[in-house]
Amino acid sequence: MIIIDIQKDAEQKMRRSLKGFKSDYLAKIRTGRAHTGLLDHIQVDYYGSNVSILQVANLTLIDANTISVQPWDKKMVAVVSKAIRESSFGLDPASQGDLIRVPMPALTEERRRELSRAVKAEGENAKVVVRNLRRDANDQLKKLLKDKDISEDDERRAQDEVQKLTDKFVSEIEKLVQIKESEIMTV
């Protein structure tokens, strides 16, 4: 493996880590405003199989504080409503015929602080992942140096480039955390 490959591999892994942090964690944090991504991970019992709510219903926004869930099978209304109610978000869906309305309750100040702390902690975890990827790339570079495939100067320059990548992704994670915290704390 050559230096360029190690750097590209590290950058791709860091980018995937950042993308995962954004989509798997930040998108699911409730800020008091409605967004359909909030319900994406909810699993519904669909005739004996656990499937994502997206596979059994259409999710749309009615307004800034209400999500509309419309199951494709009318028999699934009660099951979907129960799954939303039992989720960890503390939501109370209301069924109206074959439509389920999910109002977003206002967050209390205490809950906002808890969410803010959780976002910071998860941001730190994401930074640790990026730093571990830096360590792995540096270990590969040290192995190349040990095997005498590259010079010490090449290894030093490559480590500096990997450090720049790490700094870039860590600062991007910090920005995302700040933005999410301000969203959470906005009343």
- Give the CA angle between residues 80, 83, 89 to the nearest 5°: 125
Backbone angles phi, psi at 46, to 5 degrees: -110, 95
Given a contact cutoff of 8 angstroms between Cβ atoms, the answer to whether 130 and 14 are in contact is yes
Buried b (16+ CB within 10 A) or exposed e, 86-112: ebebebebeeeeeebebebeebeeeeb
Instruction: Indicate the pTM of the whole model.
Output: 0.71
pLDDT in single tens digits along all 187 residues of the chain: 688 898 999 999 999 999 988 887 777 776 667 777 778 778 888 888 888 888 888 998 888 788 899 998 888 888 889 888 888 677 888 888 889 998 887 777 887 888 888 889 889 999 999 999 999 999 999 999 898 888 889 889 999 999 999 999 999 999 999 998 888 887 6
**Cα torsion angle, 142, 145, 150, 152, sign:** positive
User: Top-level CATH class of 3-27+108-185?
Assistant: mainly alpha
Q: Write down the pLDDT at residue 30.
A: 64
For residues 36 and 183, give the distance between their C-alpha atoms in angstroms, rounded to a whole number: 16
Residue 142 CA: distances (Å) to CA of 72, 134, 147, 154: 57, 12, 9, 11
> Does 33-103 match 3-27+108-185 at the fold level?
no
Query: pLDDT value at position 149?
Result: 86
Q: What are phi and psi of 102, to 5 degrees?
A: -120, 95
**Domain chopping of the chain, boundaries:** 3-27+108-185, 33-103
Look up residue 42 and give its two tokens.
């909810």
CATH of 33-103 among 3.30.1360.40, 1.10.10.350, 3.40.640.10, 2.40.33.10: 3.30.1360.40
